[in-house]
C-alpha cells in the first residue's frame, strides 16, 4: 500500500442537473452526485465517518474544483490523474480548499465553511458511505445571520 498525501486539484467540467451534480475527471471518467443539494447556512458539520467531497464551481457553474477530505484509500497517482484534489486533516486542523472555502477536522466529522463574499460560484459538499449519500449546498444566510447546520440542528 502506498502513502497518501495532499493533492492539488485541477479545474474540471461540471454540469448541474435537476437530479444532481456531475463532475468529469481529467481522465474522461465522470461522477454523478445524486439528489438536489440541501441548502445550509453557516458551518456544515458532516456526519461521522463519511467520505466527504467538496466542490467549488465558477460563477458560470460549468467548471469547478473537487477535493476529497481525509480520503485515504485512493493512491496519490490515481487522484492526480483524475484531477481530484485531496486534503488530509488531523483533529482541529484546518485548511482552505479554495479561496473562501475552509475545511476543518472535527474528530470523525468534517466542518466546511464558505465566505460567500470571496467565492464567485457555488459550494457543494457531498458525504457518502456504502449506505448512501447526502448532498448540501453552502448558501449565504438571508440577513447575514447563519442559523442552520447540516444535521438540521439550530445554532
What mean pLDDT do residues 130-136 have? 94
Which of these, 11, 55, 13, lies nearest to 33 by C-alpha position?
55
Q: For residue 2, what pLDDT is reported?
A: 60
Torsion (CA) 5, 6, 10, 12 in degrees, nearest 10? 90
Condensed to tens digits (0 to 9), the pLDDT of residues 19-33 reads 999 999 999 999 999
Q: For residue 4, what pLDDT is reported?
A: 86
Domain spans of the chain? 12-139
Residue with C-alpha cell 487522484?
A: 79
Q: For residue 148, what pLDDT is reported?
A: 44
Condensed to tens digits (0 to 9), the pLDDT of residues 94-117 reads 999 999 999 999 999 999 999 999
Q: For residue 142, what pLDDT is reported?
A: 81
Cell numbers standing for residue 66 = 473537487
Which of these, 103, 118, 117, lies nearest to 150 by C-alpha position?
103
Q: For residue 155, what pLDDT is reported?
A: 39
Condensed to tens digits (0 to 9), the pLDDT of residues 39-87 reads 999 999 999 999 999 999 999 999 999 999 999 999 999 999 999 999 9
What mean pLDDT do residues 122-141 have? 95
Q: What's the pTM value of the predicted model, to 2 decimals?
A: 0.90
Please indicate whether residue 27 or residue 2 has the higher confidence score (pLDDT): 27
Mention the CATH class of domain 12-139. Answer: mainly beta
For the cut 80, the answer to whether the pLDDT of residue 150 exceeds it is: no
Say whether 88 sits in a helix, a strand or coil: coil
Q: For residue 8, what pLDDT is reported?
A: 95
What DSSP element (H or E) covers 78?
Answer: helix 76-82
For the cut 50, the answer to whether the pLDDT of residue 152 exceeds it is: no
Residue 34 and residue 43: Cα distance in Å, rounded?
Answer: 22
Amino acid at each position: 500500500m502506498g502513502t497518501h498525501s495532499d493533492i492539488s486539484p485541477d479545474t474540471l467540467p461540471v454540469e448541474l442537473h435537476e437530479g444532481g451534480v456531475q463532475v468529469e475527471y481529467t481522465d474522461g471518467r465522470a461522477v454523478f452526485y445524486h439528489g438536489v443539494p440541501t441548502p445550509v447556512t453557516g458551518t456544515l458539520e458532516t456526519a461521522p465517518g463519511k467520505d466527504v467531497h467538496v466542490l467549488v464551481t465558477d460563477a458560470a457553474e460549468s467548471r469547478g474544483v473537487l477535493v476529497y477530505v481525509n480520503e485515504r484509500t485512493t493512491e496519490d497517482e490515481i487522484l492526480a490523474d483524475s484531477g481530484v484534489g485531496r486534503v488530509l486533516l488531523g483533529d482541529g486542523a484546518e485548511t482552505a480548499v479554495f479561496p473562501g472555502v475552509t475545511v476543518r477536522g472535527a474528530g470523525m466529522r468534517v466542518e466546511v465553511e464558505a465566505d460567500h463574499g470571496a467565492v464567485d460560484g457555488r459550494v457543494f459538499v457531498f458525504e457518502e458511505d456504502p449506505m448512501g449519500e447526502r448532498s448540501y449546498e453552502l448558501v449565504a444566510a438571508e440577513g447575514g445571520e447563519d442559523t442552520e447546520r447540516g444535521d438540521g440542528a439550530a445554532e
